[in-house]
Structure 1
Amino acid sequence: MKTYPKFKAAACHVAPVYFDTPATIDKACAWIAEAAANGASLVAFPESFVSAFPVWCGVWAPVDTHEFFVKLASSTVLVNGPEIDRLRAEAKKHGVFVSIGINEGTPNSFGCIYDTNLLIGDDGSILNRHRKLVPTYWEKLVWANGDGSGLRVVDTRIGHIGALVCGENTNALARYSLLAQGENVHISSFSPRWPTHPPGEAAYDLEASIKLRAGAHAFEGKLFNIVASGFLPPEAIDMISRGDPRPRRLMEEASKSVSMILGPDGVPISPILRDEEGIVYADIDLERCVIPKQFQDVVGYYNRFDIFDVNVNRRAQSPARFSDQDSTEPYGEPGWSGAPQATSSSAEV
C-alpha cells in the first residue's frame, strides 16, 4: 500500500550580507541549523540570496550601475565551489534538504551571471541546478538567460520537489513542465522588493502578485508551495541609494515581498512574514494532495493529450562545443548534462 510522506517545511524570510559571500554563507548555515533544530526537513532561502538581489537596476540608470555590477560579479559562486561545499556539508550534517538562490558565476566569462536556484539533498549532494529562464524587466541588465536543463522534479524521501524563480512562477509552461513530472512540493523564491514606477505613482504590488501566483500553482497542481522571499535591510538601502533621496524613496515605497507556505487548496497554512527577518514553518502531509486530484488533475484525466502536445528542451546550453572536451564532470562548463547527480535521496527524472 502506498504511503505519503509527512514533514515540516521552513521558508526563510531573510537578507544576505550584500556582496559579502563568506558572511552570507555563514548566515545561511546558521539559519539551516536553526530550522533543523525546530524540526524542519526542508529549508528554503530566497532568490539570489548569495549574495545580493540587484535592486539597484530598478532605481538607477544603467550608466550609473557599473560599480554594483562589478561587486556582484566578484561575489558570485560556482556550483562546484567551496562556498556551496559548505552549504552541502551543513545540509548533510543536519539531514535536511536545502533550496537556495545564488548568483552563479561561470568559468566561461567573468561577466556572465545566472540567477540560479540550487536544491541540495539531505546527504549533501546537488540534486538540481535551475538557472532562471528569462530575467525579468531590468534584471536583464545583470543576469543571463538560463536554459531548460534545470526544469526537473527530484524524487526524494519527502516528496517530488520542483522549483521556479520569481517571475517564472507566472510562466504557465514552465509550471506545467514541473507538474508533468509529478511535482507535489514546489519552491517559489522571490526578490525582496521590485520597483517599477516613479515615486508617488501606483506601482507593482509584489505581495499581491506573490499570493496570486503561489496560490494559483498550489491550486492548479494540488500541491504544497513553499514561498521564500528576500528581505531588504536598511543598510542595503543606504548603500544602494548613495545618499540620493530619489532611489531611496523608490526602494522604500516599493511593496515588500512576503514568505509563506500554502496548501493544495492555494490557502496559506503558515504565518506570512513581511516586515522583518524570520522563518515560517508548516507541517506538510502529502496525502492532502490526493483528493483534490479527483476534482481536477491537469496532468492526468483532466487534460487532452491528443489535443495539446508540450515539448520541453532540457539540453544545457553553452557558448561553444569543443570536440576534445571532457564532458563527464558534473556541473562542468559547458558539458554538464543537466541531470541530477545520482544519490540515495534522488532519482533522475
Structure 2
Amino acid sequence: MPPNLPDFSKSHGSPDKNAGDWMTLRSHSDFSNGTSDQTGLESSKVDMYVGEKFFRTVEPNCFDPVVRMNEMDVTGVDVQVISTVPILFSYDKPIEPAAALARYLNDHIASVCRDNPRRFVGLATVPLQDIPSSVVELRRAKVELELKGVEIGTEINGCSLDDPRFNPFWAACEELDMPIFVHPLGYELERENKSRWGNYWSAWLIGMPSETALSIHGILSSGVLVRHPKLRFCFAHAGGAYLPLLGRIQHGYNCRPDLVAHSSEGVSPQSYLESHQHNIWIDSLVHDPDLLQLICKKIGPDRIVMGSDYPFPLGEMPNPGEMLSSDKRVGELFSSETRARMLAGNAIEFLGLGDMWPGHKISCI
C-alpha cells in the first residue's frame, strides 16, 4: 500500500451518501497518551481509518520498499509479489472515484516494481463494481504498467464470482493472459453481523476460510472454467476450507445434481482438481504440516505456491517460507525438489515469469 492516500471522495465526482466511508491514512497515534507515539515524536507507523473508525495500525514494512527489502534480505527472500491491501478494493464506492483509486494504487505498485525490478513483481487491482471500467484498467495495468496479474475479492458487494456479469472480465483476463489472485474480505462479515463474527477474531479465523471456500465452490459449480478455459485462479490461504470439504461437495454433486450440478456444464468439482489441470492454484499458508500434506494430495504439489501473508500477523512471520524450507516434518513428507517448486517454481509458472526469474525464490503474498 502507498504511504498516503488522497481524498478520492472529494476530488472525483459527487459525494455519495450511501457509498460508505473511505479509507484514510494517518500518522500513528498512541491512544493511551494522545501523542503520535509513546515518545511524543512523530511515528513511522500509519493508522488506517475507515471514515472516523480506526481499522488497524500498520508498520513501515507495509508501505516502505526499503524496509521490505531489508527484511527480505534477512529472511532469504529474493523476490516478493506485491498486491493491494484488500480493504482498499473499495467495491462499495461510486465508480468514478473508485476507478481513480485503482489507478492510483496500480501506479504506485508499478513504480515500486520499476524502481526495484529484481525484487518485486506487481499485481493490479480493478473496480469490479463496474465491469467495463475494470476491463479498461486491467488492460492499462498489463500493457502500460506491465503488472503480471490481478488481485480481486471473493465477492463484490454481495455478488458471487460465478455471476454472469463477470464474463466480460474473465474474457479480458484470458485475452491478456492475466492470472487472478483471489483474497477474502473478512472485514465485511463484521459489518454484516458483529455479534456473530466479532468475537475471538472469528471473521478472520473462521470467516475468511469460509468466504474463500464459497468462492471456489461458485467458480467450480457454475461452468465458469468451461466457458473460460484459459483462466488461472490462485486462492489465498490454501483455498480456505474448500479442499477439506471436497469429498462432501463432490458427494452433493452426485446425490443432488438438481441442486449442485445444474450449471456445471457436465464438469464435477473433483474433475477440476485432477492432475495436470492449469486453472486452479492455491497458496501454502496453512501453519500445519498435516494440512499441507492433505492439500497436496487433493490438488497436487505443482499447484501450490508459497504464501506468506507478509507483513500481517496471520502470515508466516517473521520468516516467510520457514515451514516449507526448514520444518522437519515437511522435509520428511516432501522431496527437496517438490519443496523448491512450492517455494519458487510454481509461482513463476502461475505468473508466467519463467523468462524473468530463472532460479529465484518468489514469495506470493
TM over 0.5: no
More helix by share: 2
Compare relative contact order (CA 8 Å, sep 6+) and give the higher one, 1 or 2. Answer: 1
TM-score normalised over the length of structure 1: 0.33
Higher strand proportion: 1
Normalising by structure 2, what TM-score? 0.32
